[in-house]
Amino acid sequence: MTQELFDRSTRVTPGGVHSPVRSFRNVGRTPIFFKQAQGATLIDVEGNNYIDFCQSFGPLILGHRDPDVEKEVRDAVGDVWTLGTADPYSLELAEWIVEKIDAVERIRFVNSGTEAVMSALRLARGFTGRTKIVKFDGCYHGHVDSMLVKAGSGLAGGQSASSSAGVSQNQAGDTLVLPLGDENALQALFESQGDEIAAIIVEPLPANFGLLPLKNSFLQALRMLTKAHGALLIFDEVISGFRVALGGMAQLSNITPHLVTYGKVIGGGFPVGAFAGRADVMDFIAPEGPVYQAGTLSANPISMRAGLVTLKKAARAGKYDALNQRTQNFADELDQLITRTGSNIKLVCSGSLLWLCPGAQNMEISAPADFPANLQDNFKPFFLSLLAEGIYMAPSGYEVMFLSHAHTDLVLEQALEKFRRAFEKFSQ
């Protein structure tokens, strides 16, 4: 059945999928078609069950089909699907976030993380009157043209080149790309071009190209340099926001960015994005200010209501600490399995995120330049071994794993046994 569905898909959709990583090309097999999910479990079209450590790439901090969120969504569908007007649902979610998050004085909802980043960059340029944006190798900010860039031949000077066909050098040219975590390169760039830079954008917890936690001193340097040169600091917290802590990495690092982008968790599993930040900056957005942004389905009522229930439930006393501690305990158990089975796997844990990097057990990895050259080759048998045991993770060696509140102690105990068998097979 799976092969038949994929054959049909390839006739009507590029590559048979609606996002590249879903194609399973990196792991050399036909993608699995899933039809149902509950808690920490995925069920495919052939009736096979998997413990899900992808969780739709992070939004499902409560797990699939949390009963409280499901009830709210069913009620919401009974009231309205979309309005295209002012509404009380986005107001409630906006008020809740502004009240809870120190970095947010104003917020605008959109439909995706990419759209949030696109809007935040335009706003930064409009507010500062400058054109250049600084980003870092190893940070992913969606498929905005100006962010689909990589370091060019002039890395020390921040020059960039397109990393995708269809992105012109003109579009890429105003994006300056630096090595992740390199304070010297950052300082040198601001000394030479600081008066042209509108903003720095960074994932304060890079988690889209491996899991690469940054030193707090590096984030502090970003804050000091933007302040000294009149640029804005944008935290891309599409993944980390409301995931590692209620206030995301802004809270954990004790750094208040000028702007922050959100997605994933704030929609409770429904399409959503947002950009937010300091009032004087956000008030440059239309209709209050001269920077245009709009969206037909922005602040969709179903996403707003699902998001508010999700955030309120995730923010209950002790819930973040409990999830993060359970993740750390699970990571410790996995590390012991790696040692006992003699598996060449590096494990990185931060909050409720995990990254397993086969072929890199004794390597220090803090930036993409440190990745093992054969990472994807090693990942393929590793992924297939886990899949055969009923463990689902994203089909790419560069993607991270997510735990949710649905990953109970019992579920994780079952998962550990599956990981043990997969590790033994992988290390043979």
Q: Which of 286, 261, 288 is nearest to 272 (CA)?
A: 261
Contact at 8 Å (CB) between 396 and 209?
no
Per annotation, catalytic residue among 52, 66, 132, 140: 140
Q: How many CA atoms lie within 13 A of 366 on its CB side?
A: 8
For the question of residue 236 being annotated catalytic, the response is yes
Tokens of 90: 């986005």
Q: Which of 402, 369, 418 is nearest to 62 (CA)?
A: 402
For the question of residue 264 being annotated catalytic, the response is yes
Q: What is the 3-state secondary structure (H, E, C) of 34-91?
A: EEEEEECEEEECCCCEEEECCHHHCCCCCCECCHHHHHHHHHHHHHCCCCCCCCHHHH
Tell me, what DSSP letter sits at residue 204?
A: S
Q: Look at strands 49-52 and 391-392 and give their pairing.
A: parallel
Distance CA 350, CA 370 (A): 19
The rounded Cα 263 to chain-centroid distance in angstroms is: 8
Per annotation, catalytic residue among 264, 320, 346, 392: 264
Beta-bridge mates of residue 161 = 150
Measured at the CA of 417, the angle between CA 331 and CA 376, to 5 degrees, comes to: 60
Per annotation, catalytic residue among 137, 236, 320, 346: 236
Strand locations in 140-192 (E): 149-151, 160-162, 175-178
Distance CA 188, CA 156 (A): 8
Q: Which of 326, 351, 354 is nearest to 338 (CA)?
A: 354
Beta-bridge mates of residue 37 = 42
Q: How many CA atoms lie within 13 A of 362 on its CB side?
A: 2
For the question of residue 140 being annotated catalytic, the response is yes
Torsion, CA 78, CA 82, CA 85, CA 86, rounded to 10: 60
Q: How many CA atoms lie within 13 A of 229 on its CB side?
A: 27
Active site residues: 140, 236, 264
